[in-house]
Amino acid sequence: MLPPAKRPAAGAADAAAFDDPRALTSRERDVRLACNYLSIEPEQIASAPQITPQLQMIVKTLRREGQPKKSRKLISQSEDEGTRSTIISTTQPQLPYGPGADLLISWPKYLSSSDHEDARKVLECFRAVPHGVRFRSRDPRLHVLPVEAYCVAAKVHPHSILAILTGEVVRLGAQASSIVASVNQPRVVQKLVDRAMDDEEDTRMEAATLLSKATGFLPTPRGSQTTVNVAANSSSNASAQAASLPAPAPEQTIRRLVDRFNEARGLPPAAPVIVAIPKREMIEAEAMEVDEDCEAPADEAPADEDSA
């Protein structure tokens, strides 16, 4: 826990300024009072790494500040009087909504949805300051101290808090998008069915084609392949039978391909493959035959002696 608010132990000029409200503006008094609850000095906030300018830039980008307004000219002509009037309508870019649109103001809310230890430390320092001191009196939505002040008090690097805020905004945005898409999907399907059954020829055919592809009645192209969902039972049975048959030998497949290629080109069928016997095996075979010829007279010698 943070220590209670105390009078800052600084120089004589700072102490006199703290005691005399007329020596400081209302903004400076609010900042010094909030820093007193955190036991930090305003100079520490200025010397810390700054992430508030990045948050401001993100909010400006989301709000499309600096983009030109869209103008549209409408010309109407009166048939009775024959006069023409020109109306110029100007529309501003639509402001974003959802997680992250109010990041500069609602950063404590996004930190509270995180289970990171650094987020918990910063939130403890943020809640240690009373609500009346934490926000500005003229605009209760604006913070008196930036997020860097609470990072200094919690001894947490501001870049870690910026990374946590980014991750939480991305996560909450993805979850919100999934919920919005799931909730509105039945309405979108019903609207597509109504367009497919409409009397207008242009929108009816396009909606009917899209609905037929979504339900699988029409084939859906997938790159260079086309899936046709017709006779699913027969195709599944055929695939099961094909899976039970053993695959042919590679030599047979190659021989059939060569024969078909020769037939298409008008060439004679391929000659049978003759496997060449290595030279070493031929030498060994000849040596075996020579040994058998040499042993035959030795076997016949005892027979000659008996006859003698």
> For 173-215, how does the pLDDT look when each residue is reduced to its tens digit (9 = 90+)?
899 899 999 999 999 889 888 888 877 767 777 888 888 888 8
- Asked if residue 183 and residue 121 are part of one domain, the reply reads no
How many domains does the chain divide into? 2
> For 37-76, how does the pLDDT look when each residue is reduced to its tens digit (9 = 90+)?
999 999 999 999 999 999 988 888 887 776 666 666 666 6
pLDDT at 9: 45
Contact at 8 Å (CB) between 122 and 111? Answer: yes
- Asked if residue 29 and residue 130 are part of one domain, the reply reads yes
108: Cα within 13 Å, side-chain hemisphere: 17
Residue partners of 20: CB distance under 8 A and separation at least 6: none
pLDDT at 4: 46
Q: Which domain holds residue 28?
A: 12-63+97-172
Residue 159: both structure tokens together: 């870049």
> For 231-244, how does the pLDDT look when each residue is reduced to its tens digit (9 = 90+)?
445 555 555 555 55
> For 276-306, how does the pLDDT look when each residue is reduced to its tens digit (9 = 90+)?
555 555 555 555 555 555 554 544 444 444 4
- Asked if residue 133 and residue 22 are part of one domain, the reply reads yes
- Asked if residue 165 and residue 192 are part of one domain, the reply reads no
More confident residue, 216 or 135: 135
